[in-house]
Amino acid sequence: MKPLRVALLGCGVVGSQVVRLLGEQADDLAARVGAPLELAGVAVRRLGRRRDVDVDPALLTTDAEALVTRDDVDIVVEVIGGIEPARSLMLKAMAAGKGVVTANKALLAEDGATVHGAARDNGADLYFEASVAGAIPLLRPLRESLAGDRVHRVLGIVNGTTNYILDKMDTTGATFNDALEEAQALGYAEADPTADVEGFDAAAKAAILAGLAFHTRVTAADVHREGITDVTATDVASARAMGYVIKLLAICARSDDGRSVGVRVHPAMIPRTHPLASVGEAYNAVFVEAESAGRLMFYGAGAGGAPTASAVLGDIVAVARNRIAGTRGPEESVYAELPVHPMGETVTRYHVSLDVADKPGVLAKVAEVFAKHDVSIQTVRQEGHGDDAQLVLVSHRASDAALSATIEGLRELSIVRAVASVMRVEGEDTP
Amino acid sequence: MKPLRVALLGCGVVGSQVVRLLGEQADDLAARVGAPLELAGVAVRRLGRRRDVDVDPALLTTDAEALVTRDDVDIVVEVIGGIEPARSLMLKAMAAGKGVVTANKALLAEDGATVHGAARDNGADLYFEASVAGAIPLLRPLRESLAGDRVHRVLGIVNGTTNYILDKMDTTGATFNDALEEAQALGYAEADPTADVEGFDAAAKAAILAGLAFHTRVTAADVHREGITDVTATDVASARAMGYVIKLLAICARSDDGRSVGVRVHPAMIPRTHPLASVGEAYNAVFVEAESAGRLMFYGAGAGGAPTASAVLGDIVAVARNRIAGTRGPEESVYAELPVHPMGETVTRYHVSLDVADKPGVLAKVAEVFAKHDVSIQTVRQEGHGDDAQLVLVSHRASDAALSATIEGLRELSIVRAVASVMRVEGEDTP
């Protein structure tokens, strides 16, 4: 059988593993595809650079544009990342009839419409399992296995760096800065950790997941995003004392009436008994709640060269099989056209910690503010120490707008010395 | 677009949910498939029976044979279960060019060769996600997402009934019989629980999983099978004391040299820190260890009408999309032709509890027996009570044959009054 030829764009952490696996697993891959897979070329920025894998120098090129349209290329694998030149190269490849495999979450979340549109217009395959949660098979189950079901909610830990940091804070009592330094020393966090700790990476993944889960279009700009830089050791300890753990969650949910969706990334307390609570280190896990399937969880390595390459290879095999069969995989399915509602309309719960004067009547005044905004209180815990007291309240479900207004009202009370922390509580309600 | 028409064989717990969802989700399904899905007919044993769902009486028929070959049928869904008449009906359907979706683990595990062979010979689709672990998307990830990876091991809880029983024994200290009675009262176990508690159900699923994971042919008869009826409250308590929990595991693993595979179902101790340890109630979870992807876990409802129907619907959508595209899904991939090695060659560890005479030299004699069979001991714990003592040993990894021979040798020692329990230990070693 005639080999299928793969052009690789980028030969960094993921790309070098793709090269290695295409070589080492050649026999298995050929058996699974029904034809050998061959590397046609590898586009890199600089030819002479040291790489983690031996690449035949004759395959290396700096001319990515020429590579993606070459007649002897069937499949283009994009692992450069970022918006440009990745987007232009993918569009060129699809226009030239190539199947495309990408790990590019930023591009899909920011400008998915263009890329998916090009796939549709050109009848080209576009596979992107590696763009979310690394090796965890998540997009294929959402797109295909659950195609006959109705997803209500996706709730997940989709950023390994922040999970490592929060896990360290939880298990050792470390501060955010100390945990971040450790993560950097171990290579889990980059020198500039902004994309991870401010939630940009998770927000891009949340946009992709929401689009697939609800068959609608969601972009990174639609995602309400809060990072973990303000999470203190006190917050973590307080959560622990109440049987919770703090995780950076990506939450994609239908509204109660099903007519809109909310997509958000923020730190939240979840009960220690929740399956996501035990996801430690840099692991990822995603919880999916569907009408018929019930609660499903997918767990695994969310990043790293080899795990991400595993997802890329799975997609290469799929595109290769499609080309042999003369067909293509499932298209983007955005028929639902559900609006993304603002964060204020999201229904959630708050954990609020207040520093208050320790005198009679304080709770009554605080409770009045909650009542004024129609937010009911689930639990209250008061701890006095001398003149001061700490008041910890957990609300019932209410709109985020009502909860925000409640916090504003509390700040205006003279008996409230400080709003020490405010954090959402998730994972206790089922749809 | 011309509707795609579905013939349903069986209208019991799963079938009635398939009928309901085809109706309730009709608009969503049509949008996902690109054409409406219509119920063409439902084959049942008796027409007048009460069902969990309203079915148009005009659709009901007792003539399944005629239904599966009808010209107006595109997709045949088999949820009767068992070997016959399910097999004959599926073969007839595929010979008539229909796509087939089945939830029939028994048939696929016992005679997969015939059914997969018919799919290949007729160029027909055969999808079976619902046959293992209900709603958990597991087969599609193994077949497709991991198609570019090399799976080393699949380790899972694939039977909800036994997990419910063992979980009750662990959390309440109940005996096997009490926990079984409770499971029966709650509908988790059948009046005749043999298929579940003796491991037949899990063994069929293990055979299917091993075949997919290792691209080879494995039948139910190849699976080493031990049930949970001999697990005592003492075993459970002893495991708990040592930081373990007992689970009925299905384990499919390549041998160390990669040239053969072992497939087994038996109760085993796993560390409480293992992700499978926290899988409670009747839930299922499957751990997959792959070379590049690392450790993945899939968790969810392993049985029940609606969850299983969700998996069936996902497959119906896939077959329907394939028919519209004029193609078919991935074929069975058994190119590897790896032999299944006997249980004796499986490498594992044993937890052994002995009632011994409490006098000096006992441990030396016991250790001698282990040494004679080249089995090294990892930990020993001795507890004296009066004349008797209990000696608890955990071995290092050794062949099951060597471990069995060690137990035989221990039984022959006069200072060993009884071998109180022997159980394998899993989940501590990574490949």
The CATH number for A175's domain is 3.30.360.10
The secondary element (H helix, E strand) that includes residue B153 is strand B151-157
- Dihedral sign (CA A69, A70, A76, A78): negative
Q: What is the mean pLDDT of chain A?
A: 93
Greater model confidence, B359 or B196 = B196
Q: How much is the pLDDT for A431?
A: 32
Q: Which of B325, B357, B392 is the last residue of a domain?
A: B325
CA-nearest of B44, B94, B426 to B252 is B426
The reply to whether B153 and B123 lie within a common domain is no
What digits encode the pLDDT tens for the residues B43-66?
A: 999 888 888 888 999 999 999 999
> pLDDT at residue B430 above 50?
no
Query: Is A332 inside a domain boundary?
Result: no
- Is A11 annotated as ligand-binding? yes
- Write out the catalytic residue numbers of A: 205
CATH number at residue A60: 3.40.50.720
Per the structure, how many domains does chain A have?
A: 3
**Residues B117 and B165 grouped into a single domain:** no
The answer on pLDDT for A63 being more than 70 is yes
Nearest-CA neighbor of B75 among B5, B129, B171?
B5
Residues of B in contact with A29 (CB under 8 A): 148
Angle in degrees, 0-180, between the axes of helices A86-95 and A105-122, rounded to the nearest 10: 20
* Segment A112-115 long-range contacts (CB within 8 Å, at least 24 positions apart): A112/A207, A112/A208, A112/A211, A112/A217, A112/A219, A112/A332, A113/A217, A113/A219, A114/A87, A115/A87, A115/A90, A115/A91
Nearest by Cα to A213 from A252, A247, A255: A252
Q: What is d(CA B96, CA B40) in angstroms, rounded to the nearest whole number?
A: 16
Mean pLDDT calculated for residue range A282-294? 95
Question: Which token pair is B200?
Answer: 């037949």
Lowest mean pLDDT among B112-121, B315-324, B387-396: B387-396
Cα distances from B34 to residues A65, A216, A267, B4, in angstroms, run 35, 16, 39, 10
Chain centre distance of CA B370: 33
Question: How, if at all, do strands B244-254 and B151-157 pair?
Answer: antiparallel
Determine the Cα–Cα distance for residues A404 and B69; give it in Å rounded to an integer: 62
Is A377 in contact with A370 (CB distance < 8 Å)?
yes
Q: Kindly state the average pLDDT of the residues B327-340.
A: 86
Token pair, residue A99, equals 């199947």
Q: What is the mean pLDDT of residues A367-383?
A: 93
A361 and A313 in a common domain:
no
CA B286 to CA B284: how far, in whole Å?
7
Give me the long-range contacts of A193-199 (CB less than 8 A, separation at least 24).
A193/A161, A196/A159, A196/A161, A196/A162, A197/A161, A197/A162, A197/A165, A197/A227, A197/A228, A197/A229, A198/A225, A198/A227, A198/A229, A199/A159, A199/A162, A199/A225, A199/A226, A199/A227, A199/A228, A199/A248, A199/A265, A199/A266
Q: In the predicted model, what is the mean pLDDT of residues A370-375?
A: 96
Please indicate, yes or no, whether residues A43 and A65 belong to a single structural domain of this protein. Answer: yes
- Binding-face residues of A in 274-333 toward B, CB within 8 A: 275, 278, 285, 290-301, 304, 306-307, 309-318, 321, 325-328, 330, 333
Does the distance separating the beta carbons of B318 and A310 come in below 8 Å?
no
What pLDDT does residue A19 have? 97
- List the single best residue of A144, A150, A152, A328 to mutate versus B (max B Cβ within 10 A): A144
Contacts of A125 in chain B (CB under 8 A): none
Query: A135–B292: do the CB atoms touch at under 8 Å?
Result: yes
Q: Residue B396 carries which side chain, given as an amino acid letter?
A: H
Give yes or no: residues B281 and B310 share one domain.
no
pLDDT of residue A133: 87
Chain A nearest-CA residue for B20: A292
- Residue ranges for the known binding site of B for L-homoserine are 190
Q: How far is Cα B277 from Cα A65, in angstroms, rounded to an integer?
A: 51
Instruction: Specify if A130 maps to a domain.
Output: yes
Direct distance between the N- and C-terminal alpha carbons of chain A, in angstroms, rounded to an integer:
51
Q: How confident is the model at residue A429 (pLDDT cuts 50, 70, 90)?
A: low
Type of residue numbered B233: A
Judge whether B242 lies within some domain: yes
CB distance B297–A292 less than 8 Å?
no
DSSP one-letter code for A196: H
Phi and psi at A417, nearest 5°, equal: -75, -35
Helix (H) or strand (E) holding A305: helix A305-325
> Tens digits of per-residue pLDDT, B210-237?
999 999 999 999 999 999 999 999 999 9
Verify cis geometry, omega within 30 degrees of 0, for the bond prior to A275.
Answer: no
Q: How far is B281 from chain A (nearest CA, A)?
A: 13
- Compute the average pLDDT of residues A214-226: 96
Q: Is residue B431 part of a domain?
A: no
Measured in degrees and rounded to the nearest 5, phi and psi for residue B357 equal: -70, 140
Is position A340 within any domain?
no
Q: In terms of domains, do B210 and B222 share one?
A: yes
CB neighbours of residue B148 within 10 Å: 29
Of the residues B292, B313, B327, the best mutation for testing chain A's interface (the one with the most A CB atoms within 10 Å of its CB) is: B292
pLDDT on residue A242: 86
The verdict on residue A232 lying in a domain is yes
- For residue B245, being part of any structural domain is answered with yes
Domain hosting B186: range is 148-301
Q: What is the 3-state secondary structure (H, E, C) of A373-394?
A: CCCCEEEEEEEEECCEEEEEEE
Q: What is the pLDDT of residues A331-365, one digit of tens each?
A: 888 888 899 999 999 999 999 999 998 888 899 99
SS (H, E, C) B100-128: EEECCHHHHHHHHHHHHHHHHHHCCCEEC
Q: Which residue has the tokens 């060597």?
A: B402
Which of A148, A301, A313 minimises the CB distance to B148?
A: A313
A179 and A244 together in one domain: yes
- Nearest-angstrom CA–CA distance, A37 and A25: 10
Identify whether residues A200 and A262 lie together within a single domain.
yes
B216 shares a domain with B285: yes
Above pLDDT 90, what percent of chain A? 83
DSSP-based three-state secondary structure for A283: strand
Q: Which of B266, B291, B325 is the last residue of a domain?
A: B325
Residues of B with catalytic roles: 205
Looking at residue A428, what is its pLDDT?
79
ipTM of the complex, rounded to two decimals: 0.90
In this structure, what is the dihedral angle of CA atoms B45, B48, B49, B50, given to the nearest 10 degrees?
150
For the ranges A249-253, B1-5, B189-193, the one whose mean pLDDT is highest: A249-253
Residues A40, A168, single domain; the answer is: no
- B30 reaches A (C-beta below 8 A): no
* Element containing residue B8 per DSSP (H, E): strand B4-9
Q: Beta partners for A155?
A: A251, A287
- State the CATH number of the domain containing residue A376: 3.30.70.260
Q: What local confidence, expressed as pLDDT, does residue A274 receive? A: 87
Single residue among A290, A325, A360 that ends a domain in this structure: A325
Who contacts B364 (Cβ-Cβ below 8 Å, separation ≥6)? none
> Do B311 and A293 count as a contact with CB atoms less than 8 A apart?
yes
B120 and B168 share one domain: no
Q: What is the pLDDT of residue B429?
A: 62
The alpha-carbon radius of gyration of chain A (Å, integer) is 24
* Token representation of residue B16: 């009635």
Residue A292 to residue B17, Cβ atoms within 8 A: yes
Q: What's at A410, amino acid-wise? A: L
pLDDT per residue as tens digits for the range B342-380:
999 999 999 999 999 888 889 999 999 999 999 999 999
Q: What is the mean pLDDT of residues A50-78?
A: 95
Residue B338 lies in a domain: no
**Residues of chain A with pLDDT > 70: what percent?**
99
Predicted confidence (pLDDT) at residue B431 exceeds the cutoff of 80: no
- State whether A148 and B25 contact (CB < 8 Å): yes
Same domain, B258 and B374: no
